[in-house]
Amino acid sequence: MFSQNAFQIFEQAIIKYHEIDDVSQEFFNPFDATSIEHLLYRKCWIDTVQWHYEDIIRNPEIDPKEALILKRKIDASNQDRTDMVEFIDSYFLNLYQKIVPKMHAKTNSESPAWAIDRLSILALKIYHMQEEAGRKDAGETHQKNCETKLQILLEQKKDLSTAIDELLHDIELGNKYMKVYKQMKMYNDESLNPILYTQKSK
């Protein structure tokens, strides 16, 4: 199943990141640049680095200048994340381009790649909740609460994986068809963000 393969790649990226556990570490993609695995690995790596950006910026003692630099990195990471989702959807659009939808075929509430995006984030939640559930320096109550949350996350993984695989199967059969919209984020665009284009005109 596609979702199982994707989740294994996400786990691989997360584990590799945590070998050094540094947001500035060098990135290397072990998969062929033309493969869907390459896109999935890169996607989860972006998510993993951003997860730790978000941890760092919540330090109440962070220097304001450092926080601003980090906020810029988070903004750039969000754009990279969106771009990767669109690359993954482009892969599926190409893969299913010869599929003729049935007369009464329906669209889905989200594209395959945005569902896969949620699976990548879920992989990170599961990894870190497992860490918390096994923390030796935490109390028993903390460990039990985290174990309860972990079981819920694992159930979510099962449900989301099933939904992704069923969506892809429905597209393959022509029961559903892909309709992808570009995100058209405005805050990074110098021609659409009034703060940016006002500054540029000065």
Phi, psi of 106 (to 5 degrees): -115, 160
pLDDT of residue 161: 98
- In the prediction, which pLDDT does 184 show? 59
Q: Mean pLDDT across the stretch 151-169? A: 98
- The per-residue pLDDT for range 42-57, each reduced to its tens digit, is 999 999 999 999 999 9
- Comparison of pLDDT for 200 and 84, the residue scoring more: 84
Percent of the chain past pLDDT 70, that is, above it, reads: 91
Domain boundaries, the chain: 2-201
Backbone angles phi, psi at 176, to 5 degrees: -135, 160
pLDDT band at 174 (very low <50, low <70, confident <90, very high): very high
Task: Tell me 11's DSSP state.
Answer: H
39-92 pLDDT, tens digit per residue, is: 999 999 999 999 999 999 999 999 999 999 999 999 999 999 999 999 999 999
For residue 198, is pLDDT > 80?
no
Residue 107 in contact with residue 167, Cβ under 8 Å?
Answer: no
Q: In this predicted structure, which of 134-143, 175-184, 189-198 has the lowest mean pLDDT?
A: 189-198
Q: How far apart are CA 119 and CA 161, in angstroms?
A: 7
**Tokens coding 38:** 């390459």
What local confidence, expressed as pLDDT, does residue 89 receive? 96
- At 186 the pLDDT is 61
* Model pTM above 0.95: no
Q: What is the mean pLDDT of the chain?
A: 93
